[in-house]
Structure 1
Amino acid sequence: MTIIGPAGAVVYNGSGRLVAAVNPFGISAAGSTASPRCINVDLSRQPSSLAESC
């Protein structure tokens, strides 16, 4: 698995929201048929993902 994006940790609190804002980051797996995912966080720090590269 490869994670491309912000340096450091992505930390969620108990309600499933990020503790601090982060830039979009990508997740992919080499040799997999799964589509890469782009993880984005809106202004309310709610995460969402798209089936594409960032």
Structure 2
Amino acid sequence: MLKHSFASEAVLRAIARHLGENEDEYGIAGLLHDIDVEITNANPLTHGPYAEKI
């Protein structure tokens, strides 16, 4: 899971750079986008909503 999160961060930072956006904000989004996946067992009905509570 860590490799996936770090890879997502790198990709989103590159996208931000290309778009002229804030790389830190995009990078943090990449790191945290699956913050609840292990708790929710990646259930699409709870995966996103649970992350909002964290």
Q: Return the TM-score normalized by structure 1.
A: 0.23
Higher strand share: 1
Higher helix share: 2
Q: Return the TM-score normalized by structure 2.
A: 0.23
